[in-house]
C-alpha cells in the first residue's frame, strides 16, 4: 500500500438514525462509525437505545430517518435476510434458538443445503444434505476451540453452549460484521474469557465485532473503541486506550458515579429458619449420564441473612431453584425435603419464561403472583384502581422506564423488565427472597440499586437465597457462600473466610 492510498471506508457508518415507537424516540439522530477489524463496544443505561440501533443495522427495524452505510455503500434492508446476505450477523440479548431442534438443525435453519442428485425434485422437497455442513462446522469448531455436540437438542445444552452455537451459526454463514447483544450476561467467568479470546481471534482475521455490554471491565479490557448512548442519543465516543471506566460510567449516566459496589461487613443477629433443605437429591434424567443432578444437598437460610449460591452455571443451580419452587414434584425432588417457613418473593432465572407476560400491560404483570392480596382483590374482582396506583408507585420507586403502565412488558428494554419483576416481588414484603441472577442485564446504576434493595430486605428480616454466576456479586452481598459443583455442595465459606481464589477453585471442582 502506498502512503497516499485512501483509508478504507469504515465497516459500518450510521448517519442520523432515528427510531420512534409511538410517542417514544428510542433512537434520536444516532451517528457513529465502526472500523474494519475492530471490536467496538456499545454501552449505555437500560433503555438507552442500544438494542434498537443494532436491530436497525440488522434489518429487524426500519429507521424512521437516517442512513446505514456498509463498507462505504448506502444500504436499505427489507428484512434481516438482506443484512445477512450483506455479511451482517447478530446474536440477540435473548437467544433465538429453537429448543427441541438439534444444534445442527438450528445452525442450518432457513439455509438448509439440499442434495444435488435428486434431479427433478423441487428444492423445497429435496433432502437436506448435511455432510458438507458438518465438515465446514467441524473446521470452524477446531479453529475456535468450540466443542459442540451437533446432534443434541439445544434445550438440553447449557446457555454457554447455546451461545457458542449462535456464534458458530454466524461464522457458518460467513458473517463479516458480528453484532453481539449482551453476550456475557449469561456466561460464567471462564466462558467469558473464552468468548473474548475468540472475538480477538476473529478481529485479527479482519472481522468487525460490535458488542453491547453493561460490564465496564469488558469494555476496558477487550474493546478498541466504544460508543456511549444515553436517552436515545450518542453521549460520546472514545478510543478505549484513551479513556477510563469512570469516564465511560459518567458519560452513561450523565453525572459522576462510583462504580464500586462495596459490600459492608456486619455482624448482625439472625432469626429463625425461613428455608430448610435436607438431603435433597434429584436423580439423573432417564437415558442421560448416570450423575445425580442434585446430590444430598442440605442448607438453610435464616431470617436476616443472605446465603449465596456460587458455581459455574449448569452445576445444579437451576435444579435447586426448581426443587424450591416445586418441592412435591418428583421430577424436581426425588429424595429429601424442602420446607419454606415464610412468604416468598421470586426473582426468576428466565424473566421471559417465568417472570412476565410479555404481551400484557405492566399493571397486569404487576399483579402476577399477588392476585389474592386483599388490596388487589375483592370478591372475585381485581381492584384495578388500587392495582394501577401500586404499579405506578412501584415503577417510580424502582425507576422502571418508560413510566407507561399501559405499555406491554415486551416493549420494555431488557433491564427495565428485570426492574419491574424486582419491584413486584419486593412490594409484597416477602419473608424469603429467592433471587436468581437478579442483576443480569441491568445497568450499573440499577445494579447498585438492586443490591441495596436486597440488603434492605435482609436488614428488615427477610432471608435471601442469592443464586448468581457473578462471583463479585455473591462475595459482596452474601453472609455465607455455598459452592455447588456437579450438583453437590463442594464448599461452604463464611464472610470472614472469603477468598476469591479459593472459591474460584472450588467452583471449578478443585478443593
13 binds, among ligand ATP, Mg ion, none (CB under 5 to 8 A by kind): none
The nearest distance, CB 439 to ligand ATP, in angstroms, is 12
Where does this chain touch Mg ion (CB under 5 A) — which range of 37-45, 47-55, 401-409, 449-457? 47-55
47 binds, among ligand ATP, Mg ion, none (CB under 5 to 8 A by kind): ligand ATP
- Nearest alpha carbon to residue 26 among 4, 52, 6, 55: 52
The nearest distance, CB 220 to Mg ion, in angstroms, is 20
Sign of CA dihedral 491, 496, 499, 504: positive
CA distance 179 to 327: 41
The nearest distance, CB 352 to ligand ATP, in angstroms, is 13
172 binds, among ligand ATP, Mg ion, none (CB under 5 to 8 A by kind): none
CA distance 460 to 458: 5
Structural contact between residues 492 and 333, judged by C-beta atoms closer than 8 angstroms: no
415 binds, among Mg ion, ligand ATP, none (CB under 5 to 8 A by kind): ligand ATP
Which residues in 489-508 are b (16+ Cβ under 10 Å) and which e? bbbebeeeebeeeebbebbb
Residues 6+ apart with CB under 8 A from 325: 332, 346, 434
Binding site for ligand ATP (CB under 6 A): 21, 24, 26, 44, 46-52, 93, 402, 411-416
For ligand ATP, the closer of residues 24 and 146 by Cβ is: 24
CA distance 357 to 410: 8
Using left for φ > 0, alpha for ψ between -120 and 50, and beta otherwise, residue 22 falls in left
The nearest distance, CB 359 to ligand ATP, in angstroms, is 12
Q: How many residues bind Mg ion (CB under 5 A)?
A: 3
Q: Return the number of other C-beta atoms located less than 10 Å from residue 145's C-beta.
A: 11
The nearest distance, CB 122 to ligand ATP, in angstroms, is 37
Beta strands 225-230 and 233-239, pairing class: antiparallel
21 binds, among Mg ion, ligand ATP, none (CB under 5 to 8 A by kind): ligand ATP
φ, ψ for residue 476, nearest 5 deg: -70, -40
412 binds, among ligand ATP, Mg ion, none (CB under 5 to 8 A by kind): ligand ATP
For ligand ATP, the closer of residues 50 and 293 by Cβ is: 50
The nearest distance, CB 29 to Mg ion, in angstroms, is 19
51 binds Mg ion (CB under 5 A): yes
Helices (H) and strands (E) in the chain, counts: 15, 21
For ligand ATP, the closer of residues 46 and 243 by Cβ is: 46
188 binds, among ligand ATP, Mg ion, none (CB under 5 to 8 A by kind): none
- Angle, vertex CA 252, rays to CA 247 and CA 254, nearest 5: 85
For ligand ATP, the closer of residues 48 and 150 by Cβ is: 48
For ligand ATP, the closer of residues 323 and 422 by Cβ is: 422
Sign of CA dihedral 392, 396, 401, 402: positive
The nearest distance, CB 446 to ligand ATP, in angstroms, is 9
Write out the residues near Mg ion by the rule CB under 5 A.
Answer: 51, 93, 414
Amino acid at each position: 500500500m502506498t502512503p497516499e492510498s485512501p483509508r478504507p471506508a469504515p465497516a459500518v457508518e450510521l448517519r442520523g438514525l432515528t427510531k420512534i415507537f409511538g410517542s417514544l424516540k428510542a433512537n434520536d439522530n444516532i451517528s457513529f462509525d465502526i472500523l474494519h477489524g475492530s471490536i467496538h463496544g456499545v454501552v449505555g443505561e437500560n433503555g438507552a437505545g442500544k438494542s434498537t440501533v443494532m436491530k436497525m443495522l440488522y434489518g429487524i427495524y426500519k429507521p424512521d430517518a437516517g442512513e446505514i452505510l456498509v463498507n462505504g455503500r448506502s444500504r436499505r434492508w427489507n428484512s434481516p435476510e438482506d443484512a445477512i446476505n450483506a455479511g451482517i450477523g447478530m446474536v440477540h440479548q435473548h437467544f433465538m434458538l429453537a429448543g427441541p431442534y438439534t444444534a445442527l438443525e438450528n445452525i442450518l435453519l432457513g439455509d438448509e443445503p439440499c442434495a444435488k442428485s435428486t434431479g427433478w425434485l423441487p428444492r423445497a422437497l429435496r433432502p437436506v444434505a448435511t455432510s458438507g455442513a458438518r465438515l465446514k462446522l467441524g473446521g470452524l469448531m477446531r479453529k475456535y476451540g468450540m466443542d459442540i455436540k451437533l446432534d443434541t437438542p439445544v434445550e438440553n445444552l447449557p446457555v454457554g453452549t447455546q451461545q457458542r452455537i449462535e456464534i458458530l451459526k454466524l461464522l457458518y454463514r460467513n458473517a463479516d460484521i458480528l453484532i453481539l447483544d449482551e453476550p456475557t450476561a449469561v456466561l460464567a467467568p471462564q466462558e467469558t474469557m473464552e468468548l473474548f479470546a475468540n472475538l480477538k481471534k476473529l478481529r485479527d482475521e479482519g472481522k468487525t465485532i460490535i458488542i453491547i455490554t453493561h460490564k465496564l471491565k469488558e469494555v476496558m479490557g477487550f474493546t478498541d473503541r466504544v460508543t456511549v448512548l444515553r436517552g436515545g442519543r450518542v453521549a460520546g465516543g472514545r478510543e478505549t486506550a484513551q479513556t477510563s471506566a469512570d469516564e465511560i460510567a459518567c458519560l452513561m449516566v450523565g453525572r459522576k458515579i462510583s462504580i464500586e459496589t462495596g459490600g459492608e461487613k456486619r455482624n448482625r443477629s439472625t432469626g429463625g429458619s425461613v428455608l430448610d433443605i435436607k438431603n435433597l437429591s434429584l436423580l439423573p434424567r432417564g437415558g442421560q449420564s448416570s450423575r445425580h443432578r442434585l446430590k444430598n444437598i442440605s442448607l438453610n437460610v435464616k431470617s436476616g441473612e443472605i446465603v449465596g449460591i456460587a458455581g459455574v452455571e449448569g452445576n445444579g443451580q437451576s435444579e435447586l431453584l426448581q426443587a424450591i419452587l416445586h418441592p412435591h414434584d418428583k421430577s424436581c425432588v426425588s429424595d429429601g425435603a424442602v420446607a419454606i417457613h415464610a412468604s416468598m418473593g421470586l426473582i426468576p432465572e428466565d424473566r421471559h419464561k417465568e417472570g412476565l407476560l410479555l404481551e400484557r400491560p405492566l399493571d397486569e404483570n404487576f399483579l402476577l403472583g399477588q392476585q389474592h392480596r386483599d388490596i388487589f382483590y375483592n370478591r372475585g374482582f381485581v381492584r384495578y384502581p388500587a392495582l394501577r396506583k401500586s404499579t405506578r408507585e412501584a415503577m417510580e420507586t424502582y425507576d422502571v422506564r418508560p413510566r407507561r403502565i399501559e405499555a406491554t412488558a415486551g416493549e420494555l428494554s431488557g433491564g427495565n423488565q428485570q426492574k419491574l419483576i424486582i419491584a413486584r416481588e419486593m412490594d409484597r414484603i416477602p419473608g424469603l427472597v429467592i433471587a436468581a441472577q437478579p442483576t443480569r442485564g441491568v445497568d450499573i446504576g440499577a445494579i447498585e440499586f438492586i443490591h441495596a434493595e436486597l440488603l434492605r430486605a435482609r436488614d428488615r428480616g427477610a432471608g435471601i437465597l442469592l443464586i448468581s454466576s457473578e462471583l463479585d456479586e455473591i462475595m459482596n452481598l452474601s453472609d455465607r457462600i455455598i459452592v455447588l459443583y456437579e450438583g453437590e455442595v463442594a464448599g461452604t465459606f463464611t464472610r470472614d473466610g472469603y477468598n476469591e481464589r479459593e472459591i474460584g477453585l472450588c467452583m471449578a471442582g478443585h478443593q
